[in-house]
Amino acid sequence: MECFRLPFKAMGSPCALHVDASDRDAAESLFSAVTAEVARLEQKYTRYRDDSLTSRINHSAGDARGVEVDDETAALLDYADTAFAASEGRFDLTSGILRRAWDFRSGRLPAREEIAALLPQVGWQRVRWKRPRVVLTRPGMEIDFGGLVKEYAADRAAELCRRLGAPALVDLGGDLAIAGPHADGSAWAIGVRNPFGAGALLTLRVSGGGVATSGDTERCMVVDGRRYGHLLDPRSGWPVEGPAAVTVLADRCLVAGTASTIAMLRGWKEGPAWLAAERIPHVVVDRDGALRVGLEHRRAA
């Protein structure tokens, strides 16, 4: 049995399937199944295609009839509703519209009037969601599955590997889902990346579940000596002063990704405290490079 790494690109990110297989043909057969599933989800939920479900929902904004969705999408919307409540409004599928005001490559802050003009179209509480129909109540509103679908796709791909009996690690742009330990029973070695340079700050040994990291060191700008990261609080439309990065371990990559994002959006002090209070295994990298590690609640895989 050999571990193969098969790279690909999806959802705008470098991705890879790491799989233990008897030979390359077996690994590539699994690779074909995994990439097909990831491509299906990308085509379905991207906001960049006019024929995607996301675009159909967004085009219906202001129409009281809304759009009827399938069971898979309904489950994601139920999850988003729960995450919105758990985050006290910070995790919000409607907040993507704020990108119209924020361009972190420009080095220019948006005018407060620009933000204020968008905020009436932001807010999950303005969405009417009752299975199977979702209604965006205000013209111009949008939802964006970008905060969910990559992690969900990683989980789906890992479940596919499990069903086929293949020990695997699915990496979708740094969002990881692990389908059991290596064939020899050993855990996968996962490095917590240094957001300020090359290499890993810490190595985690993981045999199942999901690992996800949120951070804002790569997309940010400095204006008049003050740093502005790309993670925006949908309630105000302005960036949050959070840690450099938060890595979370959970039973599913989707849960790990949501928790890491919520922790970032809660800020540098409240975010880690929330993770600890919720007994969520985590690694926080502070702005000065210091680590805050809370893995004592991690369950054995």
Could you report the average pLDDT of every consecutive run of 10 residues in the chain (301 residues)? 96 97 96 98 97 98 98 98 97 96 92 97 98 97 96 98 96 97 97 89 96 90 90 95 95 98 95 95 94 72 36
Closest CA to 161 of 175, 178, 176: 178
> What backbone phi and psi angles, to 5 degrees, belong to 258?
-65, -45
Which ranges constitute the DSSP H helices of 130-266? 149-163, 253-265
- Architecture, CATH, for domain 62-141: Orthogonal Bundle (1.10)
What is the rounded distance in angstroms from the CA atom of residue 46 to the CA atom of residue 92?
17
Q: What is the pLDDT of residue 297?
A: 57
- What was the pLDDT predicted at 299? 45
Could you name the CATH architecture of 2-40+148-294? Roll (3.10)
**Residue-level pLDDT at 217:** 81
Q: Do domains 2-40+148-294 and 62-141 have the same CATH topology?
A: no
Q: Which of 158, 173, 142, 177 is nearest to 52 (CA)?
A: 142
Q: Length of the chain, please?
A: 301
Q: Using CB atoms within 10 A of its CB, is residue 70 exposed (0-12), middle (13-18) or buried (19+)?
A: exposed
183: which residues sit within 8 A by CB, 6+ positions away? 1, 20, 167
Q: What is the pLDDT of residue 218?
A: 79
Delimit the domains of the chain by residue range.
2-40+148-294, 62-141
Q: Which amino acid is at 201?
A: L
Can you give the pLDDT at residue 154?
Answer: 98
